[in-house]
Structure formats: C-alpha cells, structure tokens
C-alpha cells in the first residue's frame, strides 16, 4: 500500500505506462509515478502475517504434530492464493482503469 506524501491518504493505481504506475491520492488527488515492481512488492508485504500471529496460530492447533503441519501447509497455500488475488486485482485495476 502506498500513502500520499502530502495528506497521508491511500494512493490508488490510476494508470500505467512503460512499466510504471501512476498512483492517485483518494483524498487530495495528488499524483505520483512509481515503478510497477515496487507496487507489486508492497502488495506482497501487505499480505505477510507477522511472526507473532504465526506463533499463536501454531500453538493453538498444537494437538497432534501431523495435523499442525497440514494446517500450516494449508495456511501457506491460502496466503499464496490471497497474494495472487491481490496482484490480479491490481492488474485488472491497471488494465481497466480508463473509464
């Protein structure tokens, strides 16, 4: 997620050219251009679960080591899917953003 340097509002993708993305502030309309790769990376960071949460999840299902391993695996998979969905949405936003 990108935030507006002026007002701190959320910057949404508003266009793209030559591997760069134009972001527009939803609050004040301030525009800035960033590398597309940088935006994708931010989205990945956004979906990462903090280390502590992960530990809590692990201890909560600690009855039976086999089950815990499977749950963790499923969770990893869900996280991957979630990330893919986010990136897909970003892609659609950029491709269909010329209304």
Task: List contacts with Zn ion (CB under 5 A).
Answer: 4, 6-7, 9, 25, 27-28, 30
Decide if 83 contacts 47 (C-beta within 8 A): yes
- Cβ 30 to Zn ion, closest distance in Å? 4
Q: How far is the CB of 56 from Zn ion (least distance, A)?
A: 35
CB closer to Zn ion out of 3 and 82: 3
Residue 4 token pair: 């507006």
Residues contacting 62, CB < 8 A, separation 6+: 68
CB of residue 51 to Zn ion, shortest distance in Å: 32
- Residue 70 backbone dihedrals phi, psi, to 5 degrees: -70, -45
Give whichever of 7 and 33 is closer to Zn ion, judged by the CB atom: 7
């Amino acid at each position: 997620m990108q935030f507006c340097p002026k007002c701190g509002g959320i910057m949404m993708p508003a266009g793209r050219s030559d591997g760069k993305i134009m972001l527009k502030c939803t609050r004040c309309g301030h525009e800035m251009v960033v590398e597309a790769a940088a935006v994708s990376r931010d989205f990945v960071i956004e979906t990462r679960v903090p280390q502590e949460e992960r530990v809590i999840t692990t201890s909560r299902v600690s009855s039976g080591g086999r089950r815990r391993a499977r749950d963790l695996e499923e969770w990893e998979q869900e996280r991957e899917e979630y990330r893919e969905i986010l990136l897909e949405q970003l892609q659609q936003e950029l491709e269909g953003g010329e209304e």
